[in-house]
Amino acid sequence: MKSKLEVEHLCYSYHTLEGETKALSDISFDVRDGEFYAIVGPSGCGKSTLLSLLCGLIEPEEGKIRIDGVERRDSHAAIGYMLQRDHLFEWRTIFNNVTLGLEIQKRLDEKAKEELRAMLKTYGLSQFQESKPAQLSGGMRQRAALIRTLALKPDILLLDEPFSALDYQTRLEVCDDISTIIRTQKKTALLITHDLSEAISVADRILILSSRPARVKHVLEIHFDKEYDRPLSRRNAPEFSAYFNELWKELKTHD
């Protein structure tokens, strides 16, 4: 299958007057079209920095990012970025929150609004369209944030620990929900997570990063039988604990 996203020898440092913080050193990997790619690594190793680079919020110091074979800067591919917290705006209704991206890009017309209403309906939020975010549960807010991201029809979705603010049970459900949504829409997705079981339950491949400055330690391929296609059912598959141990061992080893 062809590569959707190629990252080559990416380096990045933060500069402050106190000194330089090297966040990424020589990161290379590629993500296939339609793949669900998880990234794990110790806290503070540079995972969020990596997503900011992919999204274009910051420019790499060295290295290249290519989308569909084209340099990121010249590519017209839409990239959706979902942050750690939902960041729904409390002063807007849910509907006006999900239209935010289209509004900024001046693409909000009747047709787009219709599509968004349908999407809200599919994901069980239609009766909350006119509610304020404070009236929604954590899981619903996260789903609204996903719709806000999907509204721009991104080719690639970047998810930065999108479930970490939720309690455990909601987290399992929302993770199941959201990854099913992403899979049915056949999007390419990169998911950052601290939770190893979460990574195994959703991903096709898992990229393991070292502690700061982040380097690629290992890429783990995940295969499950067809019957275990949903995240929740994957957790019951016999291979699950084997993958977990392997991932755990990879993260543990210091080299």
Using CB under 8 A, list all residues that contact other proteins: 52, 55, 57, 79-81, 83-85, 87, 89, 91-92, 100-101, 103-105, 152
Find the part of the chain contacting ligand ATP (CB under 6 A) among 40-48, 149-157, 199-207, 226-234. Answer: 40-48
- Coil, strand or helix: which one is 196? helix
- Which H or E element spans position 157? strand 156-160
From the list 4, 47, 171, 234, which residue makes contact with ligand ATP (rule: CB under 6 A)?
A: 47
48 counts as binding Mg ion under rule CB under 5 A? yes
CB atoms within 10 A of CB 251: 18
For residues 16 and 169, which CB has a smaller minimum distance to ligand ATP in the complex?
A: 16
Find the part of the chain contacting ligand ATP (CB under 6 A) among 46-54, 117-125, 150-158, 230-238. Answer: 46-54
For residues 151 and 196, which CB has a smaller minimum distance to ligand ATP in the complex?
A: 196
190 counts as binding ligand ATP under rule CB under 6 A? no
- What residue is closest to Mg ion based on CB? 48
User: Minimum CB separation from other proteins for residue 154, in Å?
Assistant: 10
CA pair distance 183, 35, nearest whole angstrom: 9
Phi, psi of 94, rounded to the nearest 5 degrees: -60, -40
Give the start-end residues of each E strand in 185-245. 188-192, 205-209, 216-221
Find the part of the chain contacting ligand ATP (CB under 6 A) among 13-21, 109-117, 216-224, 226-234. Answer: 13-21
Cα distance from N-terminal residue to C-terminal residue, the chain: 32
14 counts as binding ligand ATP under rule CB under 6 A? yes
Query: Half-sphere exposure of residue 127, counting CA atoms within 13 Å on the CB side?
Result: 1
Nearest to 191 by CA among 213, 217, 164: 164
User: Minimum CB separation from other proteins for residue 101, in Å?
Assistant: 4
CB of 231 within 8 A of CB of 175? yes
From the list 40, 45, 98, 203, which residue makes contact with ligand ATP (rule: CB under 6 A)?
A: 45
**What DSSP line would sit under 49-103, residue for residue?**
HHHHHHHTSS--SEEEEEETTEETTT----EEEE-SS----TTS-HHHHHTHHHH
User: How many degrees, rounded to 5, is the angle at CA 117 between CA 94 and CA 120?
Assistant: 60
Letters for 197-236 (x = contact with ligand ATP by CB under 6 A, - = none) are: ---------------x------------------------
User: Minimum CB separation from ligand ATP for residue 213, in Å?
Assistant: 8
Nearest to 192 by CA among 91, 41, 27: 41
User: Minimum CB separation from ligand ATP for residue 87, in Å?
Assistant: 15
User: Minimum CB separation from ligand ATP for residue 15, in Å?
Assistant: 8
Residues binding ligand ATP (CB under 6 A) = 14, 16, 21, 23, 43-49, 212
